[in-house]
Structure 1
Amino acid sequence: MANLVVFCILAVVILGSALLCVMTKRIMRAATFMLFVLFGVAGLYFLLDYTYLGAAQIAVYAGGVTMIYVFAIQLVSKRTLQGLVERVKCSRMLWGGLVSLVSLATVVMVFLKNNFILWGGMMPDTEVPMKEIGHALVGSDKYQYVLPFEFISVFLLACIIGGLVVSRKKED
């Protein structure tokens, strides 16, 4: 019962922070709300007793990625940000809603095809051991994730370099 209460609290924090992140007009507040979302996801990992994934979520995403965003925001000049005012167009909202519905239908179909969700509404009782998850994350065989992690690290390095190039003052 206590796990359900904690899950509901974390779900409300994650969903509320995600909505506020997208809806706010101030960019630093959006980064702060994104930080709360990432901490909430880490809380879900801790609730599932996946302490390694929870600690990695806090260290890599909540710590590293959010700090990269904050540095990028701080590197962009205020004059650049002041001129940015975006109007919401009805056609954009319709296209966004349509893409969201198609994406949701695709995810549901994949879940149903691969029996992730059974028609009775119950999840299977098989539990994946943490050792197997760890091997999948750092292994280099088929269906393992060390190569995507390396690509992401190169991508983040390129983002840092791009931020430094953008922030450099032009000499007149």
Structure 2
Amino acid sequence: MARLVMFAILAVVILASAVFCVSTKRIMRAATGLLFVLFGVAGLYFLLDYTFLGAAQISIYAGGITMMYIFAIQLVSKRTLQGLSERWLGKRTFLAAFIALVGVATVILVLLKNQFINILTGNENALANEITMDIVGKTLMSADKYGYVLPFEFISVFLLACIIGGLVILNKNKKEESK
């Protein structure tokens, strides 16, 4: 029962933050809403006892990616952001509704195809093919043929290069503005 209550609280936090993120007109508030969404998803991982995925969610997405978004927002000048406004026209609204319906239909189709209902009702045969977190962790952190340590290292070097490039661009722009 406690897990259900925690799930409900996390679901409300995630949904409220997501709605706030897409409905606010201030970009820093949207980034903060995204941060709360990512923390809520990490909470769901911890609730499912997937501690590795929860820790990865916090460190990679909530920490790294959100900081990169905020860094990119700070690099963009206020003059660039000032004339940006988007209006919803009739065609766009119908197109957005159609895309949303296609997305919902896809999710329902995937849930039915993977027999998600059997898992919820407690059918033991559906859980027999579940991969444990030990296998996921060893696969992600191994340097073997199908390990993912090397791609993680390449991504970290790439993100570091992006941060350095952003600092160089910022320094160049500040020198031009000061002249």
1:130 corresponds to which of 124, 130, 133: 133
Compute the displacement of 1:160 (Å). 4.1
1:1-172 to structure 2, matched below 5 A, reads 1-113=1-113, 115-118=114-117, 122=121, 124-125=123-124, 126=127, 127-138=130-141, 153=156, 156=159, 160=163, 163-164=166-167, 167=170, 168-169=172-173
**Higher helix proportion (structure 1 or 2):** 2
* Matched residue SS, 1:86: coil
* Structure 1 CA distance for aligned equivalents of residues 48 and 83 of structure 2: 45
* Structure 2 CA distance for aligned equivalents of residues 45 and 148 of structure 1: 23
* Structure 2 CA distance for aligned equivalents of residues 124 and 141 of structure 1: 35
- Asked if 2 retains the 8 angstrom alpha-carbon contact of 1:38 and 1:62, the reply is yes
Compute the displacement of 1:35 (Å). 0.4
Which residue identity is paired with 1:135?
Answer: K
Deviation track 1:110-133 (CA, whole Å, cap 9, x = no partner) reads: 3322x2423696364425321122
* Structure 2 CA distance for aligned equivalents of residues 148 and 89 of structure 1: 42
- Return closer, same or farther for 1:6/1:67 CA change in 2, 3 Å cut-off: same
Give the gaps of 5 or more residues in structure 2: none
Compute the displacement of 1:141 (Å). 5.6
* Structure 2 CA distance for aligned equivalents of residues 7 and 54 of structure 1: 14
Q: TM-score of the superposition, structure 1-length normalised?
A: 0.80
Deviation track 1:25-67 (CA, whole Å, cap 9, x = no partner) reads: 0000000000000110111111111222111111111110110
* Structure 1 CA distance for aligned equivalents of residues 149 and 112 of structure 2: 28
Give the gaps of 5 or more residues in structure 1: none
* Structure 2 CA distance for aligned equivalents of residues 120 and 47 of structure 1: 17
Q: CA-atom RMSD, angstroms?
A: 2.9
Identity of aligned residues (%): 64
Compute the displacement of 1:104 (Å). 2.2
- Return closer, same or farther for 1:68/1:112 CA change in 2, 3 Å cut-off: same
Asked which structure has the greater CA Rg, the reply is: 2
- Asked if 2 retains the 8 angstrom alpha-carbon contact of 1:28 and 1:70, the reply is yes
- Return closer, same or farther for 1:161/1:82 CA change in 2, 3 Å cut-off: same
How many aligned residue pairs are there?
170
Deviation track 1:61-110 (CA, whole Å, cap 9, x = no partner) reads: 11101100010001111111111111122211211111121122223223
Which residue identity is paired with 1:38?
Answer: L
* Structure 2 CA distance for aligned equivalents of residues 2 and 75 of structure 1: 44
RCO (CA 8 Å, sep 6+): is it higher in 1 or 2?
1
Q: TM-score of the superposition, structure 2-length normalised?
A: 0.78
* Matched residue SS, 2:121: coil
Compute the displacement of 1:145 (Å). 5.8
